[in-house]
Structure 1
């Protein structure tokens, strides 16, 4: 049973700066992501205008902050990414070339990364010539948003080898990045850099992302079988969106901050369509209550087939406005 394909039926996810484009693809260029890392809380400068600053530390989650250039201090939000024993934040840098961070009292191992995902040198990708689809829902494949596959590797090996388990649940997130994003593909590249390299996950943490125009982006790499998120046997690749509850749990992130502003109609519609096709494909009831069982360690948790990030862990994600809409999403996804 084919879950996804291009309209023409053939693609290649390969990327290269020099190779000729394989059949069924066309060359497109995206700016390579530039980064500058720092440790500690001393002021840091960069040689480029930063799109985002990523921050991670060991210690209490609350109490971190950042000051861009000579501006005022601002508290970092709770964010979406979660790690054991510490905190994380990804902050829009507004093209700043300097910044300073403060960590919670007693925090250690403070690491920051300035990320430029819009102005680096061009890199050519082999993008499918025809639209890729998930059971009729169009999505941008990884090469179509400029995913540099080398970032999945560390010391010459895949940093987090793919593991696959039956799908049990779907979790909704927001990326906690600015709304009215003028370049959401660049934001996806920035999140990819932050998750894969700074947090050392080896890839972006979500299976899919959705921007405010309703465009769906393929997230976590799942193999070369043209089936996003799943392997050829229909099992879900493990991603990194709900620490401790990742295996068998599919993560979809809406790009933006949905604490006070609701998702756009287009984003919500795409979320519902995507959940509907996945639950139908896998025979899940979007309105059911479930007992999730982690296939790796046996940990169980009562939840719903379609949940929010905060239903698993202590976090504001997916933002109050999105969380309040989950009942509507479940009902709509269950409609035949």
Structure 2
């Protein structure tokens, strides 16, 4: 938000007094189809890979080209990442500054697409960020501005919003993992990369999750929901529709833990933040976190018997939210209920 200042050129707005200006790198990206090889023209932070057909990444691989032009060894594309669709898979692979890459398609995969993304080294842009800590029902979180969301990605070149917000009564919570690297030194950069892949490559026009939680316990606002006081909701308390579970998105709040939770659980800080966040949500909506419910898609009538707090794999065949995290969901429900 900006406000005019008397005697100032109106074409040069200044930040709202409640905000401070922070600089974030512009995201640079290069899209490609097929196996490559691909040269990005900039140091690559992540490679987003998406395909149709087979869901699993079996047989798939990637090898990176270093800044010195030397190709590294083939590495497997492991797991299914956190796909939204019933056909195919998606992954975000850490490239650590590589100059290029080459892919090997998973067995049975078709329409292989990739996106090289750099969210840390591009030209800087100024963003107005709230000065004070922002909270949702007592739980601190980073606004979209605070993690550097480029709101232009929500719009097409003609100015039309790609996915205008729709809202429905809250029904349930779904837990995800991003299937990205653990020990992430710059999780905000990872959130920006996920945002770009979701908004541009997937053509969703936004990040698919309502919230994300990093290993340090920081909570990130996800899907844009308007200018209301409560993230993910409109002023009537209805939930903005995200893009995180195929055919079961309206009324379903998605929270993604940043990292790969197939072989390890979340950090203590992430677990605490996730518990506090979900507790604030279920209290806001007056639901029992340990209940079993019938999710009903309000637009299609499609039904699914799930827990009030479920994992992505409760809706479809996917590795998400990771084997270890999925095993912790019963304890998570109890922790939310007991607080």
**Fold shared per TM-score above 0.5:** yes
- Quote the residue 1:4 is aligned against: none
Instruction: Give, in whole Å, the separation in 2 of the partners of 1:13 and 1:292.
Output: 41
- Quote the residue 2:29 is aligned against: 35
- Quote the residue 2:63 is aligned against: 67
Q: How much has 1:30 moved relative to structure 2? A: 0.8
1:13–1:127 Cα contact (<8 Å) kept:
no
Instruction: Give, in whole Å, the separation in 2 of the partners of 1:145 and 1:332.
Output: 28
Give the direction of change, closer, same or farther, for the CA distance of 1:290–1:189 in structure 2 (3 Å limit). Answer: same
Q: How much has 1:13 moved relative to structure 2? A: 9.3
Is 1:187 paired with 2:190?
Answer: yes
TM-score, structure 2 length as denominator?
0.92
Instruction: Give, in whole Å, the separation in 1 of the partners of 2:173 and 2:47.
Output: 29
- Quote the residue 2:327 is aligned against: 324
1:59–1:104 Cα contact (<8 Å) kept:
no
Q: Deviations over 1:59-79 (max 9, x none)?
A: 212333211121222222210
- Quote the residue 1:104 is aligned against: 106
1:209–1:255 Cα contact (<8 Å) kept:
yes
1:44–1:99 Cα contact (<8 Å) kept:
yes
- Quote the residue 1:204 is aligned against: 207
Q: How much has 1:177 moved relative to structure 2? A: 0.6
Instruction: Give, in whole Å, the separation in 2 of the partners of 1:293 and 1:305.
Output: 12
- Quote the residue 1:53 is aligned against: 47
CA RMSD of aligned residues (A): 1.6
Q: Which residue, 162, 170, 173 being the options, matches 1:170? A: 173
Instruction: Give, in whole Å, the separation in 1 of the partners of 2:229 and 2:192.
Output: 20
2:154–2:162 Cα contact (<8 Å) kept:
yes
Is the deviation greater in 212-221 or in 104-113? 104-113
Is 1:139 paired with 2:133?
Answer: no
- Quote the residue 1:92 is aligned against: 94
TM-score, structure 1 length as denominator?
0.93
Is 1:235 paired with 2:238?
Answer: yes
- Quote the residue 1:3 is aligned against: none
- Quote the residue 1:246 is aligned against: 249
Q: How much has 1:106 moved relative to structure 2? A: 5.1
- Quote the residue 1:288 is aligned against: 291
2:81–2:92 Cα contact (<8 Å) kept:
yes
Q: Which residue, 139, 149, 152 being the options, matches 1:150? A: 152
Q: Deviations over 1:25-70 (max 9, x none)?
A: 1101111111111111120011111110011222212333211121
Is 1:272 paired with 2:275?
Answer: yes
2:83–2:318 Cα contact (<8 Å) kept:
no
Count of aligned residue pairs for this structure pair: 323
1:138–1:216 Cα contact (<8 Å) kept:
yes
Structure 2 residue ranges without an equivalent (≥5) = 4-10, 66-70
Q: Deviations over 1:150-197 (max 9, x none)?
A: 001123211111110011000011110111100000000000001110
Structure 1 residue ranges without an equivalent (≥5) = 1-11
SS of 2:41's partner is coil
1:13–1:143 Cα contact (<8 Å) kept:
no
2:176–2:321 Cα contact (<8 Å) kept:
yes
Is 1:221 paired with 2:224?
Answer: yes
- Quote the residue 1:129 is aligned against: 131
